[in-house]
Amino acid sequence: MRSQKSNVLISALFVVFGGPGLVLVYVPLWITRFRVPPEETRAQIVFAAALILAGLIPLFESIVRFVRVGRGTLVPTAPTERLVVSGLYRLVRNPMYVGVLLSLAGETVLFRSRGLLLFLASAWLATHLFVCFYEEPTLTRRHPEEYPLYRRHVRRWLPRISPWRGP
């Protein structure tokens, strides 16, 4: 069993150098060089920034929740010990992925990049396939009673109107 400090460190390193960092920083930098088009209006910049910030909230909330509640990390090879079904997970099964994709959509708006739009579509498809073919079967095996119940009540991508009040 890893300590809470090591779980925080592992999760932080994964965010910076792994999935979220690749999707939100390294690939967009490679595609756009982070150049905002000069004709971008203040309203477009504010809208894009709002999407980016709104997407970062579930990412950081998931880090905290995975470490504190789940006693694990965001990294698939160092998963949580407990199934996390609290916080934003009461509204949607994959708030972290939804948040990352929402932030990427904000970057797509900010940079007005067709390449980033194609990357967003590819990232969503890759995430969807990962969730369907790896994550959900793995969670079903690890939590054979809890996860199927949770899955019946909370949708994969579209948030519920009211939080699930499960076990």
Does 4 have pLDDT greater than 90?
Answer: no
- pTM comes to 0.93
**Using 50, 70 and 90 to split pLDDT, how confident is the model at 9?**
confident
Does 1 have pLDDT greater than 70?
Answer: no
Mean pLDDT over 103-132 rounds to 98
Give the tens place of pLDDT for each residue, 25-80: 999 999 999 999 999 999 999 999 999 999 999 999 998 999 899 988 888 888 89
Question: How many angstroms separate the CA atoms of 1 and 12, rounded?
Answer: 18
Q: Which residue has the higher pLDDT, 11 or 132?
A: 132
Does 20 have pLDDT greater than 90?
Answer: yes
Give the domain ranges of the chain: 4-153
Q: What is the dihedral of CA 20, 53, 147, 160, to 10 degrees?
A: -150
Does 119 have pLDDT greater than 80?
Answer: yes
3-state secondary structure of 39: coil
Question: How many angstroms separate the CA atoms of 18 and 26, rounded?
Answer: 10
- Side-chain half-sphere exposure of 134, counting CA atoms within 13 A: 8
